[in-house]
Homo-oligomer: A and B are copies of this chain.
Amino acid sequence: MKNSSDIAATGRPKLYLMPVTLCDGAPSDVLPAQNIDIARRVKWFVVENLRTARRFLKRCDREIDIDSLTFAELNEHTPAAEISKLLDPMRQGHDMAVMSEAGCPAIADPGADLVAVAQREGFDVVPLVGPSSILLGLMGSGFNGQSFCFNGYLPIEEPRRGAKLREMMNRINRERQTQIFIETPYRNTKLIAELASRLPGDTLLAVGCNLTSPTQSIVTRPLRQWAATDTTPYNKVPCIFLLFN
């Protein structure tokens, strides 16, 4: 257990939480130079998807010798009992890095379980700055950033889906809390139509799509205007959804 040395540079191995680009642009457009330096230095990786992780490192620096690195996969198929073992290289004194398929690790992927183990064992956990569609969408929406909630995916089945929509509207109205969620991209158009038909027309919906790409957009309008909008361009495109009043 760490103590009064909590706030201090330590010689302990570090678990870097390394954000990945959200789209195919240059990593230097959305990642600080420091991240690329760390990507060049670390030799032990825990990644959500091997193929995308290797490709990302090559895009950071073509000189990185991928074959000299050690990768372990951590995703929804990883048994909970196997997660702790993934930190063995740290126990032997090596720095490690965690990478998600896209965006910030440990936000909406199994990386959080690995971080929890690292915290229990007192390792240094070092999150790095990078793109998060949740945060970028919130910044661009104009909605309340002093109180907000990320809900992940909405429930698919009724009555749970309707109950969730009512709960979100309650928290918008009573707590002035921005409500953020995601949807499987092929259902984006259907979701916007559903929100427009089930929620009050003056509720504001912000849709952020293709964030950090050259075609990115964040558009905020009342649901009654969304009902009159051609939303087919949003179909099958990565989007983040935000509701407020």
Interface residues of A (CB under 8 A from B): 1-4, 6-9, 17, 28-34, 104-109, 112-120, 124-127, 129-132, 134-152, 177, 206, 209-212, 214-221, 225, 229-230, 232-234, 237
Contacts and interface: CB of A to CB of B under 8 A. Distances in A.
Given A107-B135, A141-B115, A150-B147, A217 B32 contact: no
A6 B142 contact: no
Given A6-B234, A32-B32, A129-B129, 20 more contacts: A6-B219, A7-B215, A7-B217, A17-B139, A28-B32, A30-B32, A107-B135, A107-B138, A107-B139, A115-B140, A115-B141, A115-B142, A119-B206, A119-B218, A129-B131, A129-B136, A147-B152, A149-B149, A149-B150, A149-B177
13 contacts: A4-B230, A6-B229, A7-B209, A33-B33, A106-B139, A106-B142, A108-B145, A116-B142, A119-B141, A124-B217, A125-B140, A135-B135, A148-B149
A112 B142 contact: yes
Given A2-B219, A4-B233, A119 B142 contact: yes
A104 B43 CA distance: 31
A127 to B, nearest CB: 4
Give chain A's interface secondary structure class: mixed
A240 to B, nearest CB: 11
Contact of A6 (B8, B108, B150, B217): B217
Contact of A151 (B1, B127, B132, B147): B147
Contact of A29 (B30, B34, B138, B140): B34
A170 B125 CA distance: 28
Contacts of A145: 106-109, 112
A235 B187 CA distance: 48
Contact of A28 (B33, B120, B212): B33
B135 A7 contact: no
A32 B209 CA distance: 20
Given A7-B215, A149-B148, A225 B1 contact: yes
Contacts of A214: 9
Contact of A9 (B7, B215, B220): B215
